[in-house]
Structure 1
Amino acid sequence: MALVEFTPQLRRFVDAPSCQCKAATLGEALDAAFAEQPRLRGYILDEQGHLRVNVVVFIDGKRARDLRGLSDPLRVDSRIHVLQALSGG
């Protein structure tokens, strides 16, 4: 099963547990995570369902390419890391 993991910084705002799921695409994996924790959706996706500009997703160590359709394919054992960009200096 694919594993979706969220950055610890999200835990300041919402419960963001890891999620194991059967999913063929990034969008399906995120939907499974949102089903378990609906409040996560607003931190990860914008109003059109696209990744927010301050969110970066890596699938098996490579940056996701389809930031709008979330159609990047997954392997059965993919690891997805969802990160929020940090700012400051």
Structure 2
Amino acid sequence: MPQVVFTPNLQRHLACPPRAVAGRTVAAALQEVFADNPVLRGYVLDDQGQLRQHVAIFVDGRQINDRARLTDPVREASEVFVVQALSGG
């Protein structure tokens, strides 16, 4: 099963341990995670369900292309890594 992993920065604010999911797209994988943790959705997606500007998602080390509908495919052994950008110095 694909594994969804959140950056340690997000894990400091919310309970979001790595999770195996059955989704075949980034959207489907995230929906499974959000079903158990709806507060997390607001950190990752905006009001239109699109990826927030300060968030990036990588599938198997490659940044996703579809930030609006999250249709990038996820394979059985994929790792979906959700990163929240940090700023400051």
C-alpha RMSD of matched pairs (Å): 0.8
TM-score, normalization by structure 2: 0.96
Q: CA deviation at 1:14?
A: 1.3
Give the letter aligned to residue 40 of structure 1: L
Aligned-residue sequence identity (percent) comes to 46
Structure 2: gaps of 5 or more residues: none
The residue number in structure 1 matching 2:47 is 47
Deviation at 1:79, TM superposition (A): 0.4
Q: TM-score, normalised by structure 1?
A: 0.96
List alignment gaps of at least 5 residues for structure 1: none
* 1:37 paired residue number: 37
Q: Deviations over 1:35-82 (max 9, x none)?
A: 121110000000000000000000001001100000001111110000
Give 4+ residue runs of structure 1 displaced > 6 Å after superposition. Answer: none
